[in-house]
Amino acid sequence: MPPRTSPSERQRRLGAELRKLRTRARMSGDDVAALLEADRARVSHIEAGRVDVPRNGLYKLLRAYGCPDGPLFDALMAMAHDRGKGWWDEFKTLERRALDLAELESRTTHVRVHDPLMIPGMLQTEDYARTVMNSVDSEHRNIDHGVEFRIARQRVLPELQAYHAVIHESALRVRIGDTKVMRKQLLRLVEVARLPHVTLQIFPFEMGPYSTYSRSFILFGGPTPELDTLYREHATSADFISDGDRITEYARMFERLSSLALAPIDPTAAPERQENQDSLSLIQHVLYELR
């Protein structure tokens, strides 16, 4: 089978992790080729995600690289065994980055998201999502299909171990659709924030400027820290970043944002018993202003 020209994010990530392990083990491409009884070009294709490595071949590689038994070993074996099939197959007409994102979310254990201007997709109502998509050039897009896909992605939310969002106050006040759409969306935030594994914080205007306001990002936690992923979306592309130093940098930014944001919604506390301003009271204030 010829090498694939457009590997998925999972295939690229598996290849990148194998390259990291090979480099750490101080093995050359020729060493690996001899181990797999293949040529050097095939090793390059494996590490670029363009061809699959057989399960027994991957087992040999991980052993040769000194990867110990444990979460990383098991996760890499599972990534190789996975064929990328899932509910997102129903949406194959969408662009590759969207399908890659859905597949990444399916193998994620915890999520940290920062958004300075919009409600994160995982928390959007159908009407809000539709209004957002209609605001973009929709002449050549199937809006209904896109909205259905975005709502379908939310099925992973109850299965996560933890979901933590820091949303800027701007996202609450930027009018997406009419008053009814915004009210329903803000009430949805409160509803989701009362789930025990969800932490939702609002970053208020009064805290002043902060460097990460300028862009949204998502930190996806894998089954082991080595497989964490930083996701940054742009107008026409998206970055899936696996570099540990970059992920650590953004994790620190997220912690800083969280420390400066209002206290999260307490799922056990009644709204009228809140003594200090917190994320819930700010959302309620914005809801009141929408009347």
In order, the DSSP letters of 113-155 are EEESSS--GGG--HHHHHHHHHHS--TTS-HHHHHHHHHHHGG
CATH of the domain spanning 95-289: 3.30.870.10
Q: How many CB atoms lie within 10 A of CB 118?
A: 16
Q: How far is CA 80 from CA 46, 96, 208, in A?
A: 11, 19, 46
Give residue 124's pLDDT.
97
Give residue 290's pLDDT.
87
Contacts of residues 60-66 at CB distance under 8 Å and 24 or more positions apart, as own/partner, are: 60/35, 60/36, 61/18, 61/21, 61/22, 61/32, 61/35, 61/36, 62/21, 64/25, 64/27, 64/32, 64/35, 65/18, 65/21, 65/22, 65/24, 65/25, 65/27, 66/21, 66/24, 66/25
* Domain extents in the chain: 9-81, 95-289
Average pLDDT over residues 248-274: 82
Tokens of 121: 């997709």
Give residue 6's pLDDT.
87
Give, in degrees to the nearest 5, the angle at Cα 166 between 72 and 149.
70
- Residue 142 — pLDDT band, cuts 50, 70, 90? confident
Give residue 272's pLDDT.
54
β strands within the chain, DSSP E? 110-115, 162-168, 198-203, 217-221, 229-233, 238-241
Q: Is the dihedral of CA 43, 47, 51, 54 positive or negative?
A: positive
d(CA 170, CA 172): 5
Strand order in 217-221's β-sheet? 198-203, 162-168, 110-115, 217-221, 229-233, 238-241
Q: Is the dihedral of CA 30, 36, 38, 44 positive or negative?
A: negative
Average pLDDT over residues 266-288: 76
Give residue 274's pLDDT.
53
- Residue 267 — pLDDT band, cuts 50, 70, 90? low
Is residue 211 scored above 70 in pLDDT?
no
Give, in degrees to the nearest 5, the angle at Cα 166 between 160 and 170.
135
Q: Average pLDDT, whole number, for the chain?
A: 89
Superfamily grouping for domain 9-81: lambda repressor-like DNA-binding domains (1.10.260.40)
- 9-81 matches 95-289 in fold: no
- Residue 54 — pLDDT band, cuts 50, 70, 90? confident
Task: Give the model confidence (pLDDT) of 21-49 as tens digits.
Answer: 999 999 999 999 999 988 899 999 999 99
- Residue 113 — pLDDT band, cuts 50, 70, 90? very high
Average pLDDT over residues 100-110: 93
> Which one, of 43, 44, 47, lies nearest residue 13 by Cα?
47
Is residue 213 scored above 70 in pLDDT?
no
- Residue 209 — pLDDT band, cuts 50, 70, 90? confident
- Residue 134 — pLDDT band, cuts 50, 70, 90? confident
Average pLDDT over residues 129-139: 80
Give residue 269's pLDDT.
63
Is residue 277 scored above 90 in pLDDT?
no
Is residue 1 scored above 70 in pLDDT?
no
Instruction: Tell the burial category of 252 from Cβ atoms under 10 Å away from its Cβ (0-12, 13-18, 19+).
Output: exposed
Give residue 138's pLDDT.
57
Give residue 4's pLDDT.
84
Average pLDDT over residues 247-269: 88
Give residue 147's pLDDT.
94
d(CA 216, CA 167): 9
